[in-house]
Amino acid sequence: MSTAHYVGIDYHRWMMQDTKRTVAFRDALKAVIKPGDVVVDIGAGTGILSLFAAEAGASKVYAIEGGPIASIISKVAEANGYGDIIVPIQGDARKVELPEQGDILMSDCMGHFVLSDRMIDVVAQCRHLVKEDGIVIPDTCTLEVAPASLGPLLPQIHDWDEPMFGFDFSVGRPYAEHEAYRIQISPGMLCGEHEVFGTIVIGAPSQVWEKKMNWTFHKPTNVDALVGWFTAHMGGGVTIETAPGIQSHWGQMAFPIPYLQAQPGERLELTLRAVVNDMDYPEYSWWGGFYDTNNELIMEFKRDQAKRFDPDGETWHQ
């Protein structure tokens, strides 16, 4: 999406109607914007956030949109009486120059588990469009992870074990095991405490996120995935939460690991690594092992999206 490839109008309706998301942006903008502020909207879509900014008192809103939906922004602004405040600009935001620096930069730049769509990288490259002491909305996103027991709730893995149209496709499973999947689960599927994987400062240059984590199980537990979600800190005390149990268009992200019936005292050690690259999706890898109560390795795993079409290959990029 970062090169603003075509997304249809219904995508924008769907986004707007994720009410918790849209209201969080509106509340944060109301809390943060001072009368006369100049606001820059990166990836303005239909212009919904630009309208909120104008309504909150902005004197000018530069609404930058790279996709064909950009043509709607001037019409929406006019129809709502903000034609003299909202300035639509069609083009790749990374290449746009503005006549002045803004006070506030806002963008719904959060993809699945924030990093998908690499919009955070686009926003980082647009940081100069607002003053050094300007405000960025959201300002940070906290990524959290926890082990989970998903079982049949992860058909993306398990369906390969079943014949399809009478044919054995079980060779497909190792391919599927190297992918991360968008899911929507309840908190009851989690089987360990959540850990902070990383905190992304929106507007800062993108980096490689990597963290080694450990969970010791205190009762017999089935484990087959790591699940990730995020909290976006919007300013003015407003947050967007996407944890298991909260319905949102983001859902959560599942990273499949081998199934283990862990016994009390056994430990899962897992390192998750995310690299934002030139693709729409970051490249994830995750590896680690299960350890018994004597700290002996029971089972090891290595998963890497770079290997999704070469699951038997020897190359391992670490």
Ligand X SMILES: C[S@@+](CC[C@H](N)C(=O)[O-])C[C@H]1O[C@@H](n2cnc3c(N)ncnc32)[C@H](O)[C@@H]1O
Residues that bind ligand X (CB under 6 A): 1-2, 4, 7, 12, 15-16, 43-46, 48-49, 64-67, 69, 92-94, 108, 119, 122
Question: Least distance from C-beta 134 to ligand X, angstroms?
Answer: 18
Nearer residue to ligand X within complex by CB, 122 or 202: 122
- The answer to whether the Cα torsion of 11, 13, 15, 18 is positive or negative is negative
Nearer residue to ligand X within complex by CB, 91 or 313: 91
Q: Edge-to-edge strands of the sheet including 267-275?
A: 208-216, 267-275, 283-291, 297-304
Question: Least distance from C-beta 176 to ligand X, angstroms?
Answer: 27
Residue given tokens 């942006």 in the structure block: 25
- Angle at which helix 9-16 crosses helix 19-32, to 10 degrees, equals 70
- For residue 101, the 8-state DSSP code is -
Cα–Cα nearest to 151, from 143, 141, 161: 161
Largest Cα–Cα distance of the chain, in whole Å?
Answer: 70
Nearer residue to ligand X within complex by CB, 64 or 154: 64
Question: Least distance from C-beta 135 to ligand X, angstroms?
Answer: 17
> Which helix (H) or strand (E) covers residue 65, if one does?
strand 60-65
Question: Least distance from C-beta 250 to ligand X, angstroms?
Answer: 10
On the CB side of 249, how many CA atoms lie within 13 Å of its CA?
Answer: 15
Nearer residue to ligand X within complex by CB, 16 or 98: 16
Nearer residue to ligand X within complex by CB, 8 or 258: 8
Sequence-ordered alpha helix ranges (H) in the chain: 9-16, 19-32, 48-55, 73-79, 119-125, 155-158, 173-176
Nearer residue to ligand X within complex by CB, 62 or 291: 62
Q: Are 180 and 273 in contact (CB under 8 A)?
A: no
Task: Give the Cα separation of 214 and 155 in Å (integer).
Answer: 26
Question: Least distance from C-beta 67 to ligand X, angstroms?
Answer: 3
Measured at the CA of 112, the angle between CA 237 and CA 260, to 5 degrees, comes to 110
Nearer residue to ligand X within complex by CB, 67 or 288: 67
Task: Give the Cα separation of 47 and 283 in Å (integer).
Answer: 31
Question: Least distance from C-beta 306 to ligand X, angstroms?
Answer: 24
Question: Least distance from C-beta 28 to ligand X, angstroms?
Answer: 12
